[in-house]
Amino acid sequence: MSLFNKVDELRSEFKQALASSPALSDLERMKQKYLGRKGVLNDLFKKIVEVEAHRRGEFGSLINQLKLDIHDLIEERINDHRSDTLSISAVDVTLPGVEYERGTLHPIESTLRDFKQIFHRLGFAVAEGPEIETQWRNFDALNFPPEHPARDMQDTFFLENDSVLRTHTSPVQVRLMLEEKPPIRSIMPGRVYRNEAIDAGHYCLFHQVEGLYVDKHVTMGELKATLELFCREYFGENVKLRFRPSFFPFTEPSSEMDVSCFLCGGKGCRVCKQTGWLEIGGCGMVDPNVFKAVNIDSEAYTGYAFGMGIERIAMMKYGITDIRLLFENDVRFLKQF
């Protein structure tokens, strides 16, 4: 058999194989058989030296044309297979739809947003600051004496270069009073850190919202009125607020704030430990020593400050009994909100 006849035979063989409607995998194998680096057409090219010199050009053209024809026909069939698959899936309206789960706000973020909205309506701006602070802003400027227990390693994460992870958002108050002139009326939401043993009621980080108002003739009565308005807005019109004497280095006088238990209406339950009251934070009038540290004249200006823990209030509102649930990112827990 001449090599020219071999080209015709390969063309005929390929057409017969293609006429049998091969599957997509068969087409790939045919492609390798005829067009691959070790395929039959490459083998035929190597035999061109056996053809008479004056007919080698004709023989090469025949092989090239066969190679192009085989390639085009195989690709056409492969595309047909893919089109059939796409057309079937495109018109199959009986397939069930894909359900995508919708996310919701984390309880902490939801509580923070509520706080910001309420205090915004009460005329407070929002101020933020870094979570790594100097000991001067975190302690000294806030009238913490050197021997105060809050400086102990059991409460504070101390860093290099006289820095700490802030233990409250009060350093933002210091920054505001250093950078701005009164009147100042802002809240300071953010994360704070305490070096505490982790259990159901304590965690090494949590969120606070603190507030500061500095102006001429600011009184304790204004502080109480502001917090009462906030509590009624957040906990409901029937909530009651009480103040208990307390001590904080940066305020004088100082108070703890309690609200009547909104779960039992003040009658006493497991959440309020049968007292009818829930502690939500601390407050007081800014100590003159704090004003002195930030160069504000305490004879001309007065001010009040308050602070509340977001996790504590979120846990009370949503009936969460373990603070660790708020930080573990368990989808089963978060789906409830």
* Under 8 Å between Cβ of 53 and 47: no
Residue-level pLDDT at 164? 92
Range(s) for CATH 3.30.930.10 in the chain?
107-334
Three-class secondary structure of residue 53 per DSSP:
helix
Reported as a single tens digit per residue, the pLDDT across 123-163 is 999 999 999 999 999 999 999 988 888 777 668 888 988 89
**Confidence class for position 255, pLDDT limits 50, 70, 90:** very high
What residues form DSSP beta bridges with 307? 210, 282
| Per-residue pLDDT reduced to its tens digit, 75-107 | 887 787 776 665 555 556 777 878 887 778 889
Helix runs in the chain, H state only: 3-19, 24-35, 40-46, 56-91, 107-121, 135-138, 170-179, 220-235, 288-293, 310-318, 331-334
User: Which two tokens mark 177?
Assistant: 């009073």
Tokens of 115: 């706080």
Query: 125-126 and 184-193 as β-strands: parallel, antiparallel, unpaired?
Result: parallel
**Half-sphere exposure (CA, 13 Å, Cβ side) for 37?**
0
Q: What is the pLDDT of residue 89?
A: 52
Put simply, whether the predicted model's pTM sits higher than 0.75 gets the answer no
Residue 121 neighbours by CB distance under 10 Å:
11
The rounded distance, in Å, linking the Cα atoms of 119 and 103 is: 26
User: What does the pLDDT average to over 221-230?
Assistant: 94
Q: Which fold has domain 107-334?
A: BirA Bifunctional Protein; domain 2 (3.30.930)
Sorted by sequence, the CB contacts under 8 Å of residue 150 that are 6+ apart come out as 139, 144, 156, 167
Torsion (CA) 68, 71, 73, 79 in degrees, nearest 10 = -140
Residue 147: predicted pLDDT:
83
- Helix H segments across 194-264? 220-235
